[in-house]
Amino acid sequence: MSFLSLAFIYNRIVERENFETFIAFIHEKITATHAGYYLVVVALLMFVNYGIEAMKWKLLISHLSELKLLKSMQAIFLGTTISFFTPNRVGEFAGRILFLQARVRIQAVLSTFVGSISQLLATIVLGIVSISLFARYYLDISSTQQTLLFVLSILVSVFLLWFFPRIKNVFSLKLFSRLRTKYPDYINVFESYTKRELWNIFGLSLLRYIIFSWQYILLLQVCGVDLPLWIFAISISIIFFLQAIIPSIAFTELAFRGSLAVLVMHKFTYEQNGIIAASFGLWLVNLALPAAIGSLMFLYFKFKNKNSEA
């Protein structure tokens, strides 16, 4: 599996996605702007980002199993490798639970689901508020309608933020009574988190979101897209929101990401090549590279286990 994963990732990047053209474009921009250190920062932020996700998952499964931070990070990378081939990266769950005992793996999947909800919540809240702020650029609406849309987005966001730490209350409804009776151990996973723990999980998700956005902004600047910071921030929030709600598979996301980013940002800049290149860079650093690292980790552990059995 690991060799196939690495071969596929290599083919996808180098052969299918015109990697040489991308590198030439980036080299031209770096030479012109002396922004090479931006790329170093973007790459380092990937490890920070995955470190935060490892902390989040460690916290999520702390009720089920004690896991060292390094092991948690290894699980995150391996999960990224498997998710690379699955719709909306749902395979990430399967990769993570391989590091846990079999008796808690189903509960761990449910715990990971809570973390995914928190990440999605950050994306939705910031996305719908950003859409309401930029609606007039894409829709023929009056200033009054835009104001009403903004107020509605704030109300929806407040409700979602209020509801998230109370998510366990859903399972106390009569609708889920049979489910509680049949699968009490699984329902208890959702009910085991305190409000403070859920807010901590959401805080880590929000921090990851900020880092993702920062990476994107740096890459856009490297690629010659020059816009005010607030336009960058709002446009990126809309892009992330649309990516989250439209089903996709990681290895097919590149063309989708690039076209979606151009669609959102074309109102503010004509640097379409820069937008596409930045989208490719973000995909490369945050998905393809971690997936390759996860494949190498899988090879290492397989080789290590084989030696220990010999």
Task: Show pLDDT as tens, one digit a residue, over the chain (310 residues).
Answer: 445 444 544 455 445 445 566 667 666 766 656 677 888 899 999 999 999 998 998 888 888 878 788 888 888 888 887 777 666 566 676 667 777 777 777 787 778 888 889 999 999 999 999 999 998 888 888 888 889 999 999 999 999 999 998 887 777 666 666 766 676 666 777 778 888 999 999 999 999 999 999 999 999 988 888 899 999 999 999 999 988 887 654 444 555 667 788 888 988 988 888 888 888 888 888 888 888 888 787 776 666 655 555 5
Q: Determine the Cα–Cα distance for residues 97 and 74; give it in Å rounded to an integer.
A: 11
Decide if 29 contacts 38 (C-beta within 8 A): no
**Whole-angstrom distance, CA of residue 104 vs CA of residue 180:** 18
Q: Annotate 266-288 with b (16+ C-beta within 10 A) or e (fewer).
A: eebbebeebbbbbbbbbbbbbbb
pLDDT of 11 reads: 54
Distance CA 84, CA 250 (A): 5
Q: Are 272 and 246 in contact (CB under 8 A)?
A: no
- CB atoms closer than 10 angstroms to residue 291: 25
The token duo for 64 is 């089920």
Q: DSSP secondary structure string, 160-210?
A: HHHHGGGGGGGGGSGGGHHHHHH-HHHHHHHHT--HHHHHHHHHHHHHHHH
CA distances from 228 to 59, 220, 247, 283, 299 (A): 37, 12, 30, 23, 44
CA 153 to CA 274: how far, in whole Å? 31
Instruction: State both tokens at 177.
Output: 């009574």
- The per-residue pLDDT for 247 is 64
> Alpha helix locations (H) across 223-288?
229-245, 253-265, 272-283
Identify the pLDDT of residue 78. 81
Per-residue pLDDT at 255: 59
- Return the axis-axis angle of helices 195-222 and 272-283, rounded to nearest 10°: 130
Report phi then psi at 306, rounded to 5: -65, -40
φ, ψ at 87 (rounded to 5°): -60, 135
| Half-sphere CA count of 234, side-chain side, radius 13 A | 16
Please answer whether residues 8 and 290 qualify as being in contact, where contact means their C-beta atoms are separated by less than 8 angstroms. Answer: no
Q: Which residues, 6 or more positions from 15, have their beta carbon under 8 angstroms from its beta carbon?
A: none
